[in-house]
Structure 1
Amino acid sequence: MRHIRSRLREDRGSEAIQAAIVTPLLIMFLCSAVAAGRIVMAGTKADAAAEDAAREASLSRSAGAAQSAARAAAEESLAGQGVDCADIGIRVDTSGLTVPVGTVGTVTVTVRCTVGLSDLLLPGVPGSRTLESSFTSVVDQYRQREN
């Protein structure tokens, strides 16, 4: 009986049990931090891409040229910043280019980027997250426009 009581009071093996409990929690915390960082970074880079694309589109003289300039600027901006988007969507509103000269118009570009998270192997985290960012740029009211 005395032998059993002394065995129950010993601490041998308690560190291994603590490590077995704490290690998965630390790994989940680390993966959560990586996922949050990936989402925040992709969001700020999508903001920058939308801003670049809207500015390029606002410098164009026609809606067709604005569409292609915005798409090229957004794709170049995302590629130059190293964003790994599984799916990229670019929507350009060029209605501000159809207003008469002397009237202020705007061009709005919306960039949608789907960021993959499935490689993190974190339970409860979806396989991807879609981020959307818009930016509006003013068209010079005295700039010549094609209709």
Structure 2
Amino acid sequence: MNHVQHTGSWVRRLRGDEGSAAIEAAIILPSLIMFLCLAIAGGRIVTSGAKIDAAAEDAAREASIHRTAAAAHSAAQAAAAESLSDQGLACATTGVLINVSGLRVPVGQVGTVTVTVTCTVRLSDLLLPGAPGTRTLTSTATSVVDQYRQRGEE
């Protein structure tokens, strides 16, 4: 009788679910890794967007302190390029649009300078090396021109 009980427990042990944990891990692990990679990629894209925001703010601030539109244009271009470079963001193409109409308002009135920075980033730089495609990130910032500061002639 004892011999039969001993054999029955051995059969139950063979039919147990000890191997199912490995199968569950093999099914779930790839999806968890993919989710983690997507989360990291999303974070890198958001971080790059913040870097573009900072570049636009720097360019707008720099343009607003100049007295002429020509000086504001060149200062904003240089500030955007320097900000992107300092932050380690390599753009495949970069565009800087500057609206300096605020420099033309009469002294004593409030004017603004608006700068839009566009950066096309390769996905291989953001995600994994060899990833195809690009992502274009755009940010616009506005800076107030000192209303009592003398403006230059064009």
Is the Cα–Cα contact under 8 Å of residues 95 and 106 in structure 1 kept in the other structure?
Answer: yes
Is the Cα–Cα contact under 8 Å of residues 50 and 110 in structure 1 kept in the other structure?
Answer: yes
**RMSD of Structure 2 on Structure 1 (CA):** 2.6
Tell whether 2:145 aligns with 1:146: no
Of residues 33, 46, 51 in structure 2, which corresponds to 1:27? 33
Shift of the 8–116 alpha-carbon distance from structure 1 to 2, 3 Å rule, reads farther
CA distance in 2, matches of 1:115, 1:99: 36
Deviation at 1:94, TM superposition (A): 0.9
TM-score when scaled to structure 1?
0.81
- Report the AA paired with residue 80 of structure 1: D
Which sits farther off after the overlay, 9-18 or 66-75? 9-18
Residue number in structure 1 paired with 2:102: 96
Q: What is the SS of the residue equivalent to 2:89?
A: coil
Deviation at 1:65, TM superposition (A): 0.8
- Report the AA paired with residue 75 of structure 1: A
- Once the two structures are superposed, what CA deviation does each residue of 1:68-102 show, in whole Å capped at 9, x if it has no partner? 10010011111111123332221111111122222
Deviation at 1:126, TM superposition (A): 7.8
How much identity, in percent, do the aligned residues show?
67
Deviation at 1:117, TM superposition (A): 2.6
Q: How does 1:4-15 map to 2 (within 5 A)?
A: 9-11=15-17, 13-15=19-21
Of residues 30, 34, 49 in structure 2, which corresponds to 1:43? 49
Gaps of 5+ in 2: 1-10
Which sits farther off after the overlay, 60-69 or 7-16? 7-16
CA distance in 1, matches of 2:22, 2:92: 41
Gaps of 5+ in 1: none
Deviation at 1:31, TM superposition (A): 1.1
- Report the AA paired with residue 89 of structure 2: V
